[in-house]
Each structure stands twice: as C-alpha cells, then as structure tokens.
Chains A and B, each alone.
Chain A
Amino acid sequence: MKRRSWLSLSGLSSLLAIAAHATEQEAPSTPSWEVGAEGFRWIVYGGLFGLLLATVVLLAIWFREWQKGKLW
C-alpha cells in the first residue's frame, strides 16, 4: 500500500479513537444517540424511494436492451 493510504487509515483510526473517547467523556452512563423524527423519515422514505428507483431503472434498462435485441 502507498504511504497516502496508510496515512488515511491512521487518520481514520485516530478519528474513531477520538470519537470513542469523546462519547466516553460526555456520558458517564451508557451513551446513546437517538435518531430524530426527521432523520427517521429520511431513512424510511429514502429506502422506499430507492427501491422504487431501482425497480424503474431495471425496467428501463430491460426495455432498452429488449428493443435493441441485446438482452443476451
């Protein structure tokens, strides 16, 4: 691996370590981080929209390849 990737990896790990330390400092009991109503809505409807998009894209690709006779 190149030096850059080692650097980025060690950067990432120290970031995680700091984050871990921070959560430890802020909350003496078991820390928690609850997703709010807005975030929850994004997750739920995002997943639903993603599935819809995937279905439409798959059908569109199929239609185009079918028209060109390039399905297989």
Chain B
Amino acid sequence: MQEFHWALLIFITGGLVTAATVVMIIQGHRRYAAELSERHG
C-alpha cells in the first residue's frame, strides 16, 4: 500500500505540472494569436 501511495503522489504531481505547462502555453498562444489577428486587421 505504501508503495502505491508514493507512486500515486508522484503521478498526481507529474500530471499537475504537465497540465499547468499545457495551460500556460495555450494561454500564451491564444494571446499571441489574438495580437496577430489584431495587427492584420
């Protein structure tokens, strides 16, 4: 049981870090895409 909990903790941390990175990149990209479309009218 102990081993499983450790693994789960690391799994959740890894999932969260990955999700946060994905969110950060998508937000940055959206802002950038909006800027681009503004610039080109």
Contacts and interface: CB of A to CB of B under 8 A. Distances in A.
Please say whether the chains A and B touch (CB closer than 8 A). Answer: yes
Contact of A29 (B1, B8, B15, B16): B1
A37 to B, nearest CB: 25
Contact of A8 (B1, B3, B23, B24): B23
**Size range of the interface on B?**
10 to 19
Interface residues of A, number: 14
B33 interface: no
B14 to A, nearest CB: 11
Interface of B: 1, 3-4, 8, 12, 15-16, 19-20, 23-24, 27
Interface of A: 1-2, 5, 8-9, 12-13, 16-17, 20, 23, 29-31
